[in-house]
């Protein structure tokens, strides 16, 4: 069966995040911690995920390069790597470099409940790799063109890898044309273990309930939502199992797509999509 290749330092997998950095990403966005912007919410979610991936890859001898990571921003500045600091301009980097070179480390204050249920304040260090920025249009077609070239090159180096995962996070329609053909081209790229997976998440500042992992586009209210649904990959059997175990009504026909996602849905969507699956990470 596909999607069961072992992940190792000699045979890593990769995650690519396509991040909408258009002007509308500066709009207000509600979270459990209060109001922020869409750009800040997405940056917080991805920074938290990268911290978790670094932690999963850290062994007694250091950070093992089970994963390669690309952060690609698209907006008024065009399409380019969204990494900064010592990694600025790097397109695809191993997880050890991600772990060793955040742009900075911020001290955050978080409220947690103790054993008695009382709220306590805890200070935490949060590495920052992705900065929250927004301006200009939404060149999604150009972003997929960039991603196609990047992945084709990477797959030529790791032809037997666990298939790469691309997560596209946006809040609006493409401003440079219909990206469907480019998205389909991306999903045709493959390793010997299966085709590239494309997940799409639409984030929204509205109070409307999210539509999560639909089987079809009947619940989707507009052409943009239906377009993103059509671009999204069908969930793997492992993803279906994880979501079913967590109480979601999913089936083998469900797709990796969420519309009108709030912050909590955004976090969960990225987490499930990037779990190491039922595969084994080896030396």
Domains of the chain, residue spans: 13-274
Q: What is the pLDDT of residues 55-81, one digit of tens each?
A: 999 999 999 999 999 999 999 999 999
Is the pLDDT at 118 greater than 80, yes or no? no
3-state SS, residue 44: helix
Mean pLDDT of 107-128: 77
* Residue 47 in this model has a pLDDT that exceeds 60: yes
Give residue 276's pLDDT.
55
CA distance 145 to 140: 9
The residue assigned the tokens 């519309």 is 259
DSSP-assigned letters across all residues of 244-277: HHTT----TT-BSEEEEE-HHHHHHHHHHHHS-T
pTM to 2 decimals? 0.91
Please give the pLDDT value at position 278: 43
Please determine, for residue 267, whether its predicted confidence score (pLDDT) is greater than 50. Answer: yes
Q: How confident is the model at residue 270 (pLDDT cuts 50, 70, 90)?
A: confident
Burial classification of residue 216, based on how many CB atoms lie within 10 Å of its CB (0-12 exposed, 13-18 middle, 19 or more buried): exposed
Architecture in CATH of 13-274: 3-Layer(aba) Sandwich (3.40)
Q: What local confidence, expressed as pLDDT, does residue 135 receive?
A: 96
Q: Which residues contact 249 (CB under 8 A, 6 or more apart)?
A: none
pLDDT (tens digit per residue) in 18-35: 999 999 999 987 766 678
Percent of the chain clearing pLDDT 90 (strictly above): 66
CA distance 102 to 99: 7
* Better-scored residue on pLDDT, 29 or 256: 256
pLDDT value of residue 137: 96
How would residue 282 be classed by pLDDT, with cut points 50, 70 and 90?
Answer: low
User: Is 121 within 8 Å of 110 (Cβ atoms)?
Assistant: yes
Q: What is the pLDDT of residue 32?
A: 64
Tell which wins on pLDDT, 68 or 36.
68
Say how far apart CA 33 and CA 109 lie, in whole Å. 10
* pLDDT per position as a tens digit, 187-225: 999 999 999 999 999 987 776 788 999 999 998 878 999
- Phi, psi (deg, nearest 5) at residue 4: -140, 15
Rounded Cα gap, residues 149 and 172, in angstroms = 24
Mean pLDDT estimate for the chain:
89
């Amino acid at each position: 069966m596909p999607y069961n290749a072992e992940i190792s330092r000699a045979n890593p997998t990769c995650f690519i995040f396509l991040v909408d950095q258009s002007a509308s990403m500066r709009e207000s966005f509600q979270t459990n911690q209060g109001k922020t912007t869409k750009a800040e919410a997405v940056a917080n979610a991805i920074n938290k995920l990268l911290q978790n991936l670094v932690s999963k890859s850290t062994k007694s001898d250091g950070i093992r390069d089970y994963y390669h990571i690309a952060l690609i921003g698209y907006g008024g500045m065009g399409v380019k790597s969204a990494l900064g600091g010592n990694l600025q301009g790097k397109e695809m980097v191993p997880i050890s470099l991600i772990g060793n070179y955040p742009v900075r480390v911020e001290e955050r204050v978080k409220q947690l409940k103790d054993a008695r249920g009382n709220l306590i304040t805890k200070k935490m260090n949060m590495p920052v790799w992705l900065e929250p920025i927004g301006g200009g249009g939404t060149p999604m077609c150009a972003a997929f063109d960039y991603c196609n070239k990047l992945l084709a090159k990477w797959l030529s180096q790791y032809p037997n890898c666990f298939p790469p995962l691309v997560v596209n996070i946006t809040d609006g329609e493409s401003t440079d044309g219909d990206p469907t053909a480019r998205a389909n081209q991306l999903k045709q790229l493959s390793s010997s273990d299966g085709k590239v997976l494309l997940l799409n998440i639409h984030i929204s500042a509205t109070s409307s309930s999210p539509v999560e992992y639909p089987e079809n586009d009947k619940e989707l209210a507009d052409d943009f939502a239906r377009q993103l649904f059509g671009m999204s990959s069908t969930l793997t059997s492992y993803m279906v199992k994880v979501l079913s175990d967590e109480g979601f009504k999913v089936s083998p026909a469900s797709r990796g797509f969420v519309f009108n996602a709030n912050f909590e849905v955004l976090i969960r969507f990225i987490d499930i999509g990037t779990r190491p699956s039922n595969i084994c990470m080896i030396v």
